[in-house]
Copies of this chain bind each other. A is one copy, B any other.
Amino acid sequence: MNAATALSKGAATRELILARALEIADAKGIDALTIGTLADAAGMSKSGVFAHFGSREELQLAVLDAAARGFTDEVFVPAVRERRGLPRLRAILQGWKRRTLRYGESRACPIGAAAIEFDDRPGPIRDRVLGHLIHLRKEIARAVAMAVEQGHVRADIDPDQIAFEVHGLVLAFQFELKLFGIERAVLRVEAAISRMLDALALARPEPVSD
């Protein structure tokens, strides 16, 4: 056995289970992820699956973390190959758009969905979800701040405010996908993104009165 697969049997099937769990959570949402369904999908017994996590909640937390890792790998990791500043910010937005599109017209990002499903249920899951979302927002704000440092963007803008509005754009994009289909949603989000990036790069909102 080589180094990459140097896993004990238990750890290996745990990964297999987690992969199936991620598929289910992607497709049906995190609280449609039941132990029985997951056991069927993994070709195991309920108690076999259960033993790997100890509780349903622990399973859900593991899936949440896996989803967050997937987001990082798919959106942030490729983006850091771009130059700091606007190019990298643009890459993040493109990656995010691409990932959102992969969910299609009738599914949602599992973390965003979990944030809404659990917003009224205090506990570890809600905390974990909010933690991931806060991290996401910070990364966006960081990319904007870098763009300011690089002189790509006006110095008087607030990176956190832009992160807020970018987040809203992606959320609206998800809804537009469901409401009016892919083509229209892509047009809208790209119009909004370029409008926003233009506004960031412009000299001042009212150059005449300067």
Contact = CB atoms under 8 A, between A and B. Distances in A.
A28 B202 CA distance: 44
A161 B207 contact: no
Interface string A153-171: 0000000110011011111
A119 B107 contact: yes
Contacts of A115: 175, 178
A206 interface: yes
A120 B104 CA distance: 10
B165 A192 contact: yes
Interface residues of A, number: 43
A115 B130 CA distance: 20
B171 A172 contact: yes
Q: How many copies does the complex hold?
A: 2
A11 interface: no
A119 B108 contact: yes
B192 A164 contact: yes
A107 B121 CA distance: 9
A200 B170 CA distance: 21
B206 A202 contact: yes
Contacts of A107: 119-120
A117 interface: yes
Given A165-B169, A178-B130, A207 B208 contact: yes
Interface string A165-185: 101111111011011000000
Nearest to A27: B120
B171 A175 contact: yes
A183 B149 CA distance: 28
Nearest to A166: B172
Given A165-B172, A169-B165, A198-B205, A106 B120 contact: yes
Which one of A27, A116, A208 has the greatest number of beta carbons of chain B within 10 Å?
Answer: A116
